[in-house]
Amino acid sequence: MMERLIKIAEGMDQKMPGVKRYLMSEKTDETYFHSNRSPTDIEYLETEDYQVVAAKWEEHHWKKKPYSGVGWNEWVEIYYAKSGQEPEGRRTRMVATRDKYNSSFDRKDLWGHEKVNLEKIGKNKITVAWQNGKGHIVMQETYEITPEGLVEENPGRLT
């Protein structure tokens, strides 16, 4: 799976130079805290004025102490650039899908949505969402790409 995503990241870097460095997995291995972050899916599209890459991320984190458990966080990162320019990025809301201490806080309704859905809906307007293998979409957000950055159309709304 990871090799496939590395190849996809390299392909995205050919379409949008400079974006590959943002799409690589990260690992933290400190004395008491550990985490692994990696994209689970990457999509690309072009609007009238911008190139856009969206990556669905998953992070597993834990502490080296008894009864700590493993927590999972998930989010989407969106990178955009005009042709030939350096990409800029923004992270959507991070959601704790698995609580490391209490499973009653788990967001089981979001489990299995490891893909990202990226669609152009206007000149420089996009939607991003989490998607499962059956095409079910959750956590959809709409953005307009402006010279000032990404502007969220429905701030605070979680679906």
Contact status, residue 150 vs residue 90, Cβ threshold 8 Å: yes
Instruction: Count how many residues are written for the chain.
Output: 159
pLDDT at 95: 87
pLDDT at 109: 87
Please indicate, yes or no, if residue 159 is contained in any of the structural domains: no
- Rounded Cα distance between 57 and 39, Å, is 4
- Rounded Cα distance between 40 and 93, Å, is 16
Please indicate, yes or no, if residue 18 is contained in any of the structural domains: yes
pLDDT at 117: 93
Please indicate, yes or no, if residue 63 is contained in any of the structural domains: yes
* Helix (H) or strand (E) run with residue 40 in it: strand 33-46
Q: Show the low-confidence residues of the chain (pLDDT under 50).
A: 159
Please indicate, yes or no, if residue 145 is contained in any of the structural domains: yes
- Rounded Cα distance between 143 and 135, Å, is 21
Please indicate, yes or no, if residue 96 is contained in any of the structural domains: yes
- What pTM value is reported for the model? 0.84
> HSE on the CB side for 39, CA within 13 Å?
24
DSSP secondary structure code for residue 15 in this structure:
H
Please indicate, yes or no, if residue 100 is contained in any of the structural domains: yes
DSSP secondary structure code for residue 159 in this structure:
-
Domain count, the chain: 1
Tokens coding 15: 């379409």
pLDDT at 30: 75
Over 114-128, what HEC string results?
CEEEEEECCCCEEEE
Domain that holds residue 130: 2-152
Q: Which residue has the tokens 């502007």?
A: 151
